[in-house]
Homo-oligomer: A and B are copies of this chain.
Amino acid sequence: MDSIFEILMDLPLFQGVSREKLSELIEKTPFHFLKFTDGQPIVNVGDPCSHIRFVISGMAVLETSNYTRRILVCETVSAPAVLAPEYLFGLDTCYPFTATAKGTCGVLQITKADYINILHSDKVFLFNALNILSRKAQQGASNLLAVSNGTIAERLALFVLSLTHHGAKEIVLSYKQKDMCTVLGVQRSSFITAMTKLHDDGAVRFNPTEIIITDRSKLLDILHTEE
């Protein structure tokens, strides 16, 4: 049991909660622990967010598509992570991405009703949830306010940083090259020049249909921002 406690206490929702409190919570709340095998879908884009879901072991690949479905953003998140906590409430209550197990992946899920009960049961949980959502809400505006010179590198940084998660690995943008140029609003030649510079700086690798972000933190430097 030791390890389960330690894993849960690493989740942002349970930060600062005592072992006793957590133990009490587990006793009275249905915590569903699921195992997914490599390649198995955890959630599909558009699925209703009926539960809050945490990756508690292993890794998951998240795939988000832009609305024209021309650009696909993939990233790998590692435990401990929470899947789209900002889509349980609000205007849109469906998953904005498909999440797939990468290797064996352990997921904890709690129904939305039980999640509300948890937040209601103790101010520490409530405070943690408000923090998680506020961070997400601040990020969009802060990335946009950080844009200073409108370069292609900055536009790419804005796009990637706003659509992927802090600590995400193996971030890949897939597209037909003309579609990526269209979304960034640039000519193909300028795009290649900018990507070559980013490649030389160790931030990306690229080919005609993909940009692989090799160092996400370099994009933070480009946008002169923090997370």
Contacts and interface: CB of A to CB of B under 8 A. Distances in A.
Interface in A145-203: 145-152, 154-155, 158-159, 162-163, 181-186
Contacts of A225: 67
Contact of A145 (B66, B91, B149, B150): B66
Contacts of A163: 141, 144-145
A21 interface: no
A126 B88 CA distance: 13
Q: How many interface residues does chain A have, given as a range?
A: 35 or more
Contact of A119 (B87, B126, B137, B227): B126
Contacts of A47: none
A127 interface: yes
A15 interface: no
Given A144-B159, A163-B141, A185-B155, A89 B130 contact: yes
Interface string A123-148: 10011011101111111111111111
A185 B150 contact: yes
A91 B67 CA distance: 29
19 contacts: A64-B145, A66-B145, A67-B225, A90-B130, A90-B133, A91-B226, A92-B142, A96-B138, A116-B123, A116-B127, A130-B133, A133-B137, A140-B140, A140-B162, A141-B162, A144-B159, A145-B163, A155-B185, A185-B185
Interface of A: 64-68, 70, 86-92, 96, 116, 119-120, 123, 126-127, 129-131, 133-152, 154-155, 158-159, 162-163, 181-186, 224-227
